[in-house]
Amino acid sequence: MPIKTLFWDIGGVLLSNGWDHEQRARVLAHFNIDYDAFEARHHLIVSELESGRLTLEDYLSQTAFSSGQNPCSRAEFYAAMLEQSTPNADTLALARALSAGGRARMYALNNESRELNNFRIRQFGLDQFLLGFLSSCYLGLSKPNPAIYRLALELTHTDPSETVMIDDRMQNVEAARSVGMNAVHHTDASSTRLALEALGVPFERV
C-alpha cells in the first residue's frame, strides 16, 4: 500500500530534545543544583509530567524547589528550560518540503510535557506543517507503549501499513513496527530522506 501518513517525533528529530538528561544537566549546573538529587526526584514523577497528569508547577515543586530550596526564581528556571530547545534545521526543511508538496498527511507523535510541548509548537512553527499533535501529554500514553501507536492510527483513521513513524530512539521504532507500522530510525536528515524514498514516499529533493 502507498504511504499516506507520516508520524514525526519532535525531540531528537525535528528539534533538539526538550528536557532530556543533557538539557537537565546544563540547567542544573547553571543554577548550581545537585544533579543526583534532582534526577532521583525527576525519575519518580517524569512519567506523570509527560502524561499530562502533573503540571510543570507541581513538577518543579518536587524537583528544583523541593525541601524549601530556592536556587533561583521559578520564572528563571523555566526560562532556562525553554532555552534548551533548538531547531534541527535540515530535518525541519525536509518535513516542510514534504508538507508543501502535499505528498502525505503528517502528525507529531511524541513524549513531552504539556507546557514544553505547547511552547515548542509555537516557537518553531510546527503547526505550520503538522496537522495535529498526538503528544503523550494529551493522550495520556507514552512511547514506547504500543497502545499510543494504536491510538494514533485510530485517531488518524490510517492503516498501519500506510504509515511511517520517524523516531531517533530505536526502542520507539521497534514498538511502532510491532503494531504493523513502517518506521525509520532517524540519525540525520539525509539518511531519513533516503529511507523514506525507499519506502515509496514521493517528495521533491531538498
pLDDT at 206: 43
Composition of the chain by helix, strand, coil, percent to 5: 50, 10, 35
pLDDT at 203: 67
- Which percentage of the chain shows pLDDT scores above 70? 98
| Average pLDDT of the residues in 166-180 | 98
pLDDT at 200: 92
Pairwise CA distance, residues 130 & 107, whole Å:
5
Strands 182-185 and 163-167: parallel
Residue 115 has pLDDT above 50, yes or no: yes
What fold characterizes domain 5-17+86-198? Rossmann fold (3.40.50)
pTM for this structure?
Answer: 0.95
Pairwise CA distance, residues 196 & 112, whole Å:
25
Residue 159 has pLDDT above 90, yes or no: yes
- Which percentage of the chain shows pLDDT scores above 90? 92
| Average pLDDT of the residues in 23-36 | 96
Tell me which architecture the domain covering 21-83 has in CATH: Orthogonal Bundle (1.10)
Q: Residue 202: pLDDT band by 50, 70, 90 thresholds? A: confident
Buried b (16+ CB within 10 A) or exposed e, 80-114: bbeebbebbeebbebbbbbbeeebbbbbbbbbbbb
Cis (ω within 30 of 0) for the bond into 202?
no
What one-letter code names the amino acid at 103? R
More confident residue, 203 or 179: 179
Residue 11: other Cβ atoms inside 10 A: 23
Residue 158 has pLDDT above 70, yes or no: yes
Q: Which three cell numbers stand for residue 192?
A: 531519513
User: How high does pLDDT run on average in the chain?
Assistant: 95
Q: Which residues contact 45 (CB under 8 A, 6 or more apart)?
A: 54, 59, 62, 63
In this structure, the chain runs to a length of 206
Give the residue extent of every domain in the chain: 5-17+86-198, 21-83
* Collapsed DSSP state (helix, strand, coil) of residue 167: strand
Pick the range with the lowest mean pLDDT from 15-29, 44-58, 66-80, 137-151.
66-80
Q: How many angstroms from the chain centroid is the CA of residue 149?
A: 14
Per the DSSP assignment, residues forming a β-bridge with 135 are: 110
Look-up: residue for cell 513502517? 182
